[in-house]
């Protein structure tokens, strides 16, 4: 670690002898350090260039400056945290085998940090304050330096407080040392994110007071009538009794919604329609990055199939789909062959309250139809209770409910007891005794579509697994939470009450993540790969982040080949801050 005092700056971070405004105004995406109005950030005249992406920096030495500026995504100017004056931050293009040096200067009034998400590096360079380094104090510069051991699509972001939600995120492209294996004529980044005009600290405080504050997809009288018409009065009543007894919401799919969030594609809101260019007959590679702090997106290009060729920077056996869901921290590379002059790039939120969008087009000024947003679906009994076929149903009133997830239960004391916080304490409001292990489930809202939807079961890393040893031991971790308290944890313990998870250097171990909540958690292990396995223990795909659906148990193996202190956390930023975070020590 190297800290250097920034030259020519006093302890407050202001320029000595020069009275400059503390904040400067930028609007929407800033394509460079120049402050341009949004209407001038139009489609690039050269279709080969990736318009609406941040400035691109190449080489082996980079200077990044973190400071506050003003942005306007909603018509109301607000303070943002920028890197080199742009949101998203500059795209960093590196090359496998190079050693890169990144000098990060902090012009904020609070400490900051940068984490290189998915990059394998020494733990001292990982950028997690309090774990791998102390953070970057105001007015100082920290030098990151590491050798690149991989290639692919990655990203970087702040790991300090809520700075990621206020603008600190950008793309990383690591070019293969032997040249690109995935052939395409165009190569575009699609970076999805979100913005709130509210102070994220206040948003978090509101959720601690009322966890469902931003959820406006609530049961209504017309929905009750529809349920009765499509099923029966008894099944409709059973569903509502179940959720009421357990004090849970059937549409509890996301903590934040479009009520406070504006969804962005390459730093632009949907109304500004960011464009990406191509020429007829070209093969186009799209690098999808979910840099949102709180949102799962369902991405599709209506009428245009996508061939998925990479996940989390790792090459896959190609699989063609119409839609894919990915959560915060995940990256997918897809290849498409456009057939029309314009195609809509559509990223709908999992809770169906909003979307980000852009256009893939042969020339500026044209666009394709925007699909209608789909209604939010209720969580099913499977999402609530897990593997229904494995349960002991004796003593429970059970009725067939084919419209709403299989079986409906008349609530009695036994069911309530199954969801009482008897094992993990007050930080847990649910306990799933029979988790499902199916990886072929696309998730709530995508199960009944006629489109081909990507699932975890579809992912197969080219070449198979690297470490072919059998795991030497197994560990199990429960993802736990209490929505009314807005408390998120692992094994019922928030980070401040937990002790580190210990890996032995060089061992291979199998990990089981058991989700005892009704929300999907994208779990990110720093410093090491997570080798996803099917229910029989067979290797599927190499990941750096694994989404675990409600009432689901997902297994993967880890080769503990990285000494030091690392972290393991949910990549939903508010869940991480609320306690779903653990230290991992490899020694």
Within 99-220, residue ranges assigned H as helices are 200-209
573 Cβ contact list (under 8 Å, min separation 6): 162, 164, 165, 293, 294, 328
The structure's pTM equals 0.85
Of the candidates 564, 445, 29, the one whose C-alpha atom is nearest the C-alpha of residue 276 is 29
User: Sorting pLDDT into bands at 50, 70 and 90, what band is 225?
Assistant: low
DSSP character string of 342-372: EEEEEEEETTSS-EEEEEEESSTT---PPPP
Residue 577 confidence (pLDDT): 97
292 Cβ contact list (under 8 Å, min separation 6): 192, 193, 194, 263, 328
Higher pLDDT, 247 or 520: 520
Structure-token pair, residue 65: 């400056």
Q: How does pLDDT run across 494-531, given as a tens digit for each residue?
A: 999 999 999 999 999 999 999 999 999 999 999 999 99
Q: Is the pLDDT of residue 216 over 60?
A: yes
User: Sorting pLDDT into bands at 50, 70 and 90, what band is 573?
Assistant: very high
Distance of CA 425 to the CA centre of its chain: 28
Rg of the chain taking only CA atoms, in angstroms = 24
The mean per-residue pLDDT over the stretch 552-562 comes to 98
Q: What are residue 541's phi and psi, to 5 degrees? A: -150, 150
Query: 14-18, 252-256, 378-382 — which one is most confidently predicted on average?
Result: 252-256
Mean pLDDT value across the chain: 85
Residue 331 confidence (pLDDT): 98
Q: What are residue 319's phi and psi, to 5 degrees? A: -140, 130
User: Sorting pLDDT into bands at 50, 70 and 90, what band is 374?
Assistant: very high
Higher pLDDT, 290 or 28: 290
What is the Cα–Cα distance from 78 to 87, expressed in whole angstroms?
Answer: 13
Q: Are strands 564-570 and 581-586 parallel, antiparallel or unpaired?
A: antiparallel
Which DSSP symbol is given to 107? -
What is the Cα–Cα distance from 530 to 453, expressed in whole angstroms?
Answer: 23
What is the Cα–Cα distance from 212 to 215, expressed in whole angstroms?
Answer: 5
How big is the CA angle at 230 (ends 228 and 236), to the nearest 5 degrees?
35
Peptide bond before 407: cis, by omega within 30 degrees of 0?
no
**Which sign does the torsion angle of CA 74, 77, 79, 81 carry?**
positive
Of the candidates 439, 472, 463, the one whose C-alpha atom is nearest the C-alpha of residue 542 is 463
Q: Is the pLDDT of residue 184 over 70?
A: yes
Residue 214 confidence (pLDDT): 83
Q: What are residue 495's phi and psi, to 5 degrees? A: -50, -45
Q: How does pLDDT run across 359-369, given as a tens digit for each residue?
A: 999 999 899 99
Structure-token pair, residue 121: 């590096």
**Cβ–Cβ under 8 Å, residues 307 and 184:** no
Task: Work out the number of other CB atoms within 10 angstroms of the CB of residue 464.
Answer: 12
User: Sorting pLDDT into bands at 50, 70 and 90, what band is 233?
Assistant: low
Residue 243 confidence (pLDDT): 55
Q: Is the pLDDT of residue 420 over 70?
A: no
């Amino acid at each position: 670690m190297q800290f250097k005092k920034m030259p020519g700056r006093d302890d407050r971070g202001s320029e000595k002898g020069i009275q400059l405004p503390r904040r400067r105004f930028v609007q929407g995406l800033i394509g460079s350090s120049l402050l341009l109005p949004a209407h001038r950030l139009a489609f690039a005249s050269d279709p080969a260039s990736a318009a609406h992406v941040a400035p691109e920096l190449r080489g082996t030495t980079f200077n990044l400056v973190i400071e506050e500026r003003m942005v306007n995504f909603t018509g109301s100017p607000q303070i943002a945290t920028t890197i080199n004056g742009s949101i998203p931050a500059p795209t960093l293009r590196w090359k496998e085998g190079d050693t890169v040096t990144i000098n990060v200067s902090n012009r904020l009034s609070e400490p900051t940090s940068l984490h290189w998400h998915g990059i394998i590096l020494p733990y001292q360079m990982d950028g997690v304050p309090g774990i791998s380094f102390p953070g970057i104090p105001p007015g100082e510069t920290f030098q990151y330096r590491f050798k690149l051991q991989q290639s692919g699509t990655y990203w970087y972001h702040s790991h300090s407080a809520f700075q990621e939600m206020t603008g600190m995120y950008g793309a990383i492209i690591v070019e293969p040392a032997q040249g690109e294996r995935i052939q395409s004529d165009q190569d575009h980044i699609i970076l999805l994110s979100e913005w709130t005009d509210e102070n994220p600290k206040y948003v978090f405080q509101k959720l601690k007071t009322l966890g469902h504050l931003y959820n406006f997809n609530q049961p209504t009288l017309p929905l009750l009538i529809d349920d009765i018409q499509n099923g029966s009065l008894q099944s409709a009543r059973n569903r509502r009794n179940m959720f009421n007894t357990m004090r849970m919401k059937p549409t509890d799919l996301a903590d934040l919604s479009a009520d406070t969030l504006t969804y962005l594609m390459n730093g632009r809101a949907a109304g500004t329609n960011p464009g990406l260019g191509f020429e007829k007959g070209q093969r186009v590679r799209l690098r999808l990055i979910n840099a949102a702090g709180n949102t799962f997106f369902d991405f599709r290009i209506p009428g245009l199939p996508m061939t998925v060729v990479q996940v989390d920077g790792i090459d896959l056996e190609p699989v063609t789909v119409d839609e894919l869901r990915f959560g915060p921290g995940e990256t997918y590379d897809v290849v498409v062959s456009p057939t029309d002059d314009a195609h809509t790039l559509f990223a709908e939120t999992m809770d169906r309250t909003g979307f980000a969008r852009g256009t893939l087009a042969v020339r500026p000024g044209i666009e394709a139809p925007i699909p209608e947003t789909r209604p939010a679906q209720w969580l099913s009994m499977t999402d609530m209770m897990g593997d229904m076929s494995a349960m002991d149903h004796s003593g429970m009133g059970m009725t067939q409910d084919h419209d709403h997830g299989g079986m409906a239960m008349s609530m009695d004391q036994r069911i309530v007891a199954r969801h009482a916080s008897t094992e993990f304490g007050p930080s847990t409001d649910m306990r799933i005794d029979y988790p499902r292990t199916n990886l072929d489930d696309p998730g709530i809202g995508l199960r009944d579509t006629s489109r081909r939807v990507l699932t975890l079961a579809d992912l197969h890393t080219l070449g198979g697994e690297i470490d072919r040893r059998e795991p030497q031991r197994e560990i199990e971790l429960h993802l736990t939470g209490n929505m009314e308290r807005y408390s998120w944890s692992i094994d019922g313990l928030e980070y401040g009450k937990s002790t580190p998870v210990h890996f032995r250097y060089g061992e291979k171990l199998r990990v089981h993540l058991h989700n005892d909540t009704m929300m999907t958690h994208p779990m990110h292990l720093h410093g090491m790969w997570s080798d996803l396995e099917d229910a029989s223990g067979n290797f599927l795909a190499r990941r750096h982040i694994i989404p675990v659906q409600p009432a689901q148990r997902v297994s993967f193996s880890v080769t503990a080949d990285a000494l030091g202190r690392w972290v393991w956390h949910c990549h939903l930023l508010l869940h991480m801050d609320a306690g779903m975070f653990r230290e991992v020590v490899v020694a």
